[in-house]
Amino acid sequence: ADFTVLCCGGGNAAQVATGLFSIRYKTIAVSFYADEAAKWKAALGDEDFELTLPGGKVVKSKPHDITNDPSVAATANVILLVVPSHAHGEYFEKFAPYMKPGTIVACMPARSGGDILFSSKLGEKAKDMIFCGFETLPWACRFTEWGRKATILGTKNNILAAVSPATAKQAMAKLQGLLGVNPWVQDSPNNLGISLRNPGMIVHPGVMYGRWGPESWDGQPKDESPLFYQGVDEFTEKILIEMTDEAQAVARKAEQLVPGLDLSDACTLKQWYLDCYDGQMTDTSSLKRCMNTNAAYDGLKHPCKEVDGKHMPDLTYRYLSEDVPTGLCFAKGLAEIIGIPTPTIDKVMIWAQGCIGLEIMVDGKMTGKDLDKTRAPQGMGITTLPAFLLASKIPALL
Ligand code: NAD
């Protein structure tokens, strides 16, 4: 049978991935979001999809189908989720009854805890499947004409990814083959390292808290939207350092508790900047300076809404509504399981949960009624380290 790829989603990334993989493989675009699949199918009609590559070369290709029918998972060799992480669970759940053993399910980007969510949604079937978490999307990309044309602005040189179970190395080779020579997919030892590395779970909620939290903002509108990264001040830097240090404590304790567990990719936020933005920062002497002097961040501002010509923060933007549930909640939940106190993460979480209208922490504990809308292990019924390791497919020598 043809090698079959499902590309899930309908935004920038999903359209680009569909255009790219359709060149060589039987590729089916799947979107469960509202009537997006039917709209996309109608927009493309009988035409080819046009993808512009970096350098300007245009390639044409045609997906085999564009559908909202989950049963196409029965023919899939690889299922790629190229959607915002809050949508991952729905795809896992709807595909689960159809997937055949050995299917590779990859999330780009995975954010945190995609592996345990996958195990929880697939139940018994999870043991026969291969989950792959990518730390980020391989491309900077935009559609230029919705459903018909898209552009890859740039391709990363290297990205980290991990497979669960770690023995499924052939899955990594297939995914590298799909993506082509770039980016080089660097094999990370496990998805827990990818989860705890997630920079967005620290940077996005931390910078939002630093600027708009009760310790620094008077609630009054601003004349301009402040710069997001380049505007990081000493107070915000302190919050970020405390949060990344707390996440580090979780990683190091997990390594102690599970002999042989390698979480070296779960690095500090500053180290992540040095790894990923080498050469683009003019001053790397501190975390604040890495962020302030990073050319990749030129002009990027806080998400704001205009009110009477002034600017008020959008406290429901994905920096809180995505990065808290699918990032910070995972790290905090694991911290609670292994007994690591996280006072600054707690402070940011308690503020953020109010902004996004979720009940996550109650009286300092991960027991809120909305935990099942997050990647907190507790929201999936996981409250002990052995249960966590089982869902993560990490063989524990406990
Ligand atoms: P996008 O905003 O274009 O994705 C929109 C799509 O997400 C929709 O078309 C729909 O398919 C799905 N979606 C939105 N809301 C939904 C809902 N409520 N329920 C179910 N599905 C819903 O995002 P993108 O640019 O395609 O990026 C995908 C992911 O990659 C994001 O996490 C993004 O942060 C990340 N990313 C993107 C880029 C880029 O250059 N585009 C770069 C780096 C990382």
Q: Tell me how far the alpha carbon of residue 143 lies from the centroid of ligand 1, in angstroms.
A: 12
Q: Is 204 a catalytic residue?
A: yes
Q: Tell me how far the alpha carbon of residue 364 lies from the centroid of ligand 1, in angstroms.
A: 32
Active-site hit among 88, 204, 302, 311: 204
The residue assigned the tokens 């000493």 is: 234
**What's the CA gap between 322 and 257, in Å, rounded?**
30
Q: Which residues of 332-354 are buried (b: 16+ CB within 10 A; e: fewer)?
A: bbbbbbbebebebbbbbbebbbe
pTM of the predicted model, to two decimals? 0.96
31 CA closest ligand 1 atom index = 11
**pLDDT for residue 396:** 67
What distances in angstroms separate CA 340 from CA 178, 299, 324, 331, one per listed residue?
Answer: 40, 37, 18, 10
- Each residue of 16-31: pLDDT tens digit? 999 999 999 999 999 9
* pLDDT band, very low/low/confident/very high, at 1 (cuts 50, 70, 90): confident
Q: What is the mean pLDDT of residues 293-308?
A: 96
Q: What is the mean pLDDT of residues 32-36?
A: 98
84 close to ligand 1 (CB < 6 Angstrom): yes
- Each residue of 259-281: pLDDT tens digit? 999 999 999 999 999 999 999 99
**What's the CA gap between 37 and 51, in Å, rounded?**
19
Residue closest by Cα to atom 43 of ligand 1? 137
Q: What is the mean pLDDT of residues 192-198?
A: 98
Backbone angles phi and psi of 117, in degrees to 5: -65, -45
Residue closest by Cα to atom 23 of ligand 1? 11
Question: Ligand 1 pocket check: which of 8, 32, 33, 86 to mutate, most ligand atoms within 8 Å of Cβ?
Answer: 33
111 CA closest ligand 1 atom index = 32
Mean pLDDT of the chain: 97
Q: What is the mean pLDDT of residues 315-334?
A: 98
Give the relative orientation of helices 88-95 and 114-122 as an angle to the nearest 10 degrees. Answer: 30
Residue 231 pLDDT > 60 = yes
**pLDDT for residue 333:** 98
Residue 397 pLDDT > 70 = no
9 close to ligand 1 (CB < 6 Angstrom): yes
Q: What is the mean pLDDT of residues 151-164?
A: 95
Domains of the chain and CATH, by start = 4-188 (3.40.50.720), 197-391 (1.10.1040.10)
In sequence order, what DSSP letters do the residues of 102-156 get, joined into one string?
T-EEEESS--SSHHHHHHHHHGGGGGGSEEEEESS-SEEEEEEETTTEEEEEEE-
Question: Ligand 1 pocket check: which of 6, 7, 12, 35 to mutate, most ligand atoms within 8 Å of Cβ?
Answer: 12
Q: Tell me how far the alpha carbon of residue 116 lies from the centroid of ligand 1, in angstroms.
A: 21
163 close to ligand 1 (CB < 6 Angstrom): no
The residue assigned the tokens 């780009």 is: 108
Which element (helix H / strand E) includes 49?
strand 49-52
12 CA closest ligand 1 atom index = 26
Residue closest by Cα to atom 2 of ligand 1? 11
Residue closest by Cα to atom 21 of ligand 1? 33
Number of helical (H) and strand (E) elements in the chain, helices listed first: 14, 14
Task: Choose among 71, 124, 133, 82: nearest CA to 101.
Answer: 124
Residue closest by Cα to atom 27 of ligand 1? 13
> 324 is written with which tokens?
């808290």
| SS3 of residue 162 by DSSP | strand
Residue closest by Cα to atom 28 of ligand 1? 83
Residue 398 pLDDT > 70 = no
| SS3 of residue 310 by DSSP | strand
